[in-house]
């Protein structure tokens, strides 16, 4: 066999292998976003996909157990029990009434097993509270009604 043919076969094997690995990686990284209300309507193969769900952490629902954290997400008038089994620590902003985004799979019993949890942080651009209330609208500072008379000498 010629040297060029061997080289061509080697390149072909590498290209096919890389294409196969890319296809596998694409399939593993695909995640579908659904709302809590939509989860009950998923049928068949759609339930087997990786899913992302967002909601508000129900107050008092966070329970830490060995190897997992259980909590309930609320959204659109529905609740979703979640068990986080990931190895990463939960974010500091993951508290009662916080917005959370979970990624994982839906179990047959309707609960959700999360492998990743992201907690949305509060806005960092809110005004800091002040000791004095802001001046009322329409009351200009130094207006004629509250100005002290001055001599023009």
pLDDT bracket for residue 4 (50, 70, 90):
confident
Mean pLDDT, the chain, rounded, equals: 79
- Per domain, the residue ranges of the chain are 1-30, 32-119
What pLDDT was estimated at residue 60? 92
Range with the largest mean pLDDT of 104-118, 123-137, 139-153: 104-118
Cα–Cα distance measured from residue 19 to residue 64, given in angstroms and rounded to the nearest whole number? 42
Give me the long-range contacts of 94-99 (CB less than 8 A, separation at least 24).
94/57, 94/62, 94/119, 95/57, 95/62, 95/119, 96/57, 96/58, 96/59, 96/60, 96/61, 96/62, 97/56, 97/57, 97/59, 98/56, 98/57, 99/54, 99/55, 99/56, 99/57
> What CATH class does 32-119 carry?
mainly beta
pLDDT tens for each residue of 37-86: 888 777 676 667 788 898 999 999 999 988 899 999 998 888 999 999 98
Nearest residue to 39 via CA among 136, 141, 109, 139: 109
Q: Read off the pLDDT band of 22 (50, 70, 90).
A: confident
pLDDT, tens only, 89-104: 888 888 888 899 999 8
State pTM to two decimals.
0.61
């Amino acid at each position: 066999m010629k040297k060029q043919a061997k080289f061509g076969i080697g390149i072909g094997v590498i290209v096919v292998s890389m294409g196969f690995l890319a296809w596998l990686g694409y399939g593993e990284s695909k995640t579908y976003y659904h709302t809590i209300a939509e989860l009950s309507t998923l049928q068949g193969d759609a339930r087997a996909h990786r899913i992302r769900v967002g909601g508000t952490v129900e107050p008092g629902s966070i329970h830490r157990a060995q190897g997992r954290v259980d909590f309930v997400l609320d959204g659109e008038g529905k609740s979703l029990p979640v068990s986080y089994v990931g190895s990463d620590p939960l974010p500091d902003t993951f508290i009662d009434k916080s917005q959370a985004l979970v990624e994982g799979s839906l179990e047959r019993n309707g609960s959700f097993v999360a492998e990743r949890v992201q907690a949305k942080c509060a806005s960092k651009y809110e005004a800091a509270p002040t000791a004095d209330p802001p001046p009322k609208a329409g009351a200009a500072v130094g207006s004629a009604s509250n100005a002290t008379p001055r001599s023009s000498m």
